[in-house]
Structure 1
């Protein structure tokens, strides 16, 4: 291991991964709040935790070291000392809408009264108004948000650790996310990288930080090889953010030489590239047939660095041809979700049938509820490890979404 982050493929043997065990945040809201928090349902927490523990155990049984976001964040704050904790809280409160004022100080004192681990868990779970003996006197709280139950919103999407940051080579992107409901999440990863003894001053490159105006999320970032990454032009990742990270990767000697920008439909059902397309072996990919036009057509741009020092873009609509050229393959196997049946494909894609996590070449972790797609994968020679999924899937994310690989073995 060269650095504490080392990921040069989607399929190399997974050695270290970061997860977030679902906590109070996944049910600490009402149906009326679901659009605001980007959720379609409210999971039953005890079962969601059992399912997540089964997922973590499946990884450990396959010799993967499992780290937890909530523990790493608390350890980083403790390692940084009081000044780091104070700066973290000031930033978190500012991004929660309290940059200054009486409520800023009340919330800060309340959170500082806890242990660091309790404080991190409370921020993730959200701070309800009835927890504090405080009546706001400002007009907004008194007149406009009187009935809203939270001072600080919960972060139910946190168990999808893939999105706030993405490991790329010996570094990562720490992401400016699209919607306000998720934008605070990447502050935890920034704190871990800067202050946790496992990561701070260990040669970890930050290819792009969270202090940007253009949006990108880890579910759209796929490391196809040690020289090629694919990024989805999606509901959650903009084209100008892709150009920006491409420039940074090329300029900073990351080792990456090509960025494939793949345009997918911009909607909630297909919010990230990895919900419709994942790499699972050296020459095998899952793909939701709904993103492909006739003959496997989809807009794809190959981005390289031109001789003039500017980005060079080459457009193609044949995804299979683009992948073969970029990865130097004679042929490849695009495996359709649901076996290509339109009804089954849409149903299982909604439950993340395409969101497979490769833990070694040809070995994937999937949700057990996507039994048709899982059988198709087995028929294509894959080893499929199924994990429980009745409650976790309500968050609209699968095994790849729920995991941030930190270290993979090189192919």
Structure 2
């Protein structure tokens, strides 16, 4: 049996699900894309090729091997995009919560059954149907759970709105001893630079007390200010609109000292090293064309 344990984003990682780019399927049609950035690349003829994405993900698998992390991979489903394992489920404390995701993506959940079945029944949570939630919006941070959401009446019009207030309330009920703090995110179906698909597309904690953040990703300025106050201005790395578009906040922590980052994130990686972090650089620019990066492709199961 797997004894799950996730209290935050940065404690030493011991086990993780890493998605797969194998048998990823043909380039999707515009109308089948889940986000504006993918649409952009389909139209431009620059949508990523399967082989390039496989190589990128193997580079991450190598880093995990170097740090002695147990890695689970999804069972391969023919012609199915299974890269973003963070979307399908997430772990808080000892519980795994299945995401209620876009109906077209149900098959992706079946592909991690081998992991799901190793978890005690009482720790497998399936939320009620009206609770929409994806792992990219959910961040356990010790006594807090940060959740990105969108509560506008036009929620159904946005394919980019993935987590609703019903889910926020349900997660608060599951973890009554924690403070659940929700953040309204800016959504756009058509402009990737104005769209925070998930909370981890505009914010992520690193180390013990630092964070990467993009102000425009937040709809409500006071909620953004709350985070800045919480971490302290001196501990925050503000990213630009272009850096958000390239997914600079979507890196991944192996521990409080070690971070996996994209090799082109020059400004961010320099700052991280100045703060004393070890930065393991990998190529991930092709995967980022689908509006997701390192945090999106990983689902941590156990941290110390």
Pairwise TM-score range, normalised by the shorter structure: 0.7 to 0.9
Question: What residue is the counterpart of 2:77 in the other structure?
Answer: 121
Of residues 33, 45, 48, the one that matches 1:43 is 48
C-alpha offsets along residues 283-342 of structure 1, whole Å, 9 cap, x if unaligned? Answer: 10111132368xx93337xxxxxxxxxxxxxxxx53233x36xxxxx88611112xxxxx
TM-score (norm 2): 0.83
- In structure 2, the CA distance between the partners of 1:34 and 1:370, relative to structure 1 (3 Å rule), is farther
Q: Does 1:286 align with 2:212?
A: yes
C-alpha offsets along residues 250-281 of structure 1, whole Å, 9 cap, x if unaligned? Answer: 2xxxxx42111122212353100011111111
Rounded Cα–Cα distance in structure 1 between residues aligned with 2:277 and 2:298: 20
After TM superposition, the runs of 4+ consecutive aligned structure 1 residues lying more than 6 A away are none
The alpha-carbon deviation at position 211 of structure 1 amounts to: 4.8
C-alpha offsets along residues 334-385 of structure 1, whole Å, 9 cap, x if unaligned? Answer: 1112xxxxxxx22221121111111100321111122222222223332211
Question: What residue is the counterpart of 1:230 in the other structure?
Answer: 146
Rounded Cα–Cα distance in structure 1 between residues aligned with 2:259 and 2:228: 21
Rounded Cα–Cα distance in structure 2 between residues aligned with 1:243 and 1:211: 11
Question: What residue is the counterpart of 1:163 in the other structure?
Answer: 87
Question: What residue is the counterpart of 2:74 in the other structure?
Answer: 69
Question: What residue is the counterpart of 1:217 in the other structure?
Answer: 134
Is the 1:364–1:384 Cα contact (8 Å) retained in structure 2? yes
The alpha-carbon deviation at position 183 of structure 1 amounts to: 4.2
Aligned length: 282
- In structure 2, the CA distance between the partners of 1:350 and 1:204, relative to structure 1 (3 Å rule), is farther
- In structure 2, the CA distance between the partners of 1:55 and 1:236, relative to structure 1 (3 Å rule), is same
Question: What residue is the counterpart of 1:205 in the other structure?
Answer: 123
C-alpha offsets along residues 374-404 of structure 1, whole Å, 9 cap, x if unaligned? Answer: 2222233322111112322222111111100
Find the residue that maps to 1:12 and give its secondary structure: coil
Question: What residue is the counterpart of 1:387 in the other structure?
Answer: 282
Q: How does 1:292-311 map to 2 (within 5 A)?
A: 297-299=221-223
Of residues 26, 29, 44, the one that matches 1:28 is 26
More contact order relative to length (CA 8 Å, sep ≥ 6): 2
Find the residue that maps to 2:237 and give its secondary structure: strand
The alpha-carbon deviation at position 407 of structure 1 amounts to: 0.5
Find the residue that maps to 2:33 and give its secondary structure: helix
More moved, 279-288 vs 180-189: 180-189
TM-score (norm 1): 0.63
Of residues 193, 202, 217, the one that matches 1:276 is 202
The alpha-carbon deviation at position 8 of structure 1 amounts to: 1.2
Is the 1:264–1:273 Cα contact (8 Å) retained in structure 2? yes
Greater helix share, structure number: 1
Question: What residue is the counterpart of 2:226 in the other structure?
Answer: 318
Is the 1:16–1:64 Cα contact (8 Å) retained in structure 2? yes
Question: What residue is the counterpart of 1:260 in the other structure?
Answer: 181
Find the residue that maps to 1:390 and give its secondary structure: coil
Listed as ranges, the gaps of 5+ residues in structure 2 are: 42-46, 151-160
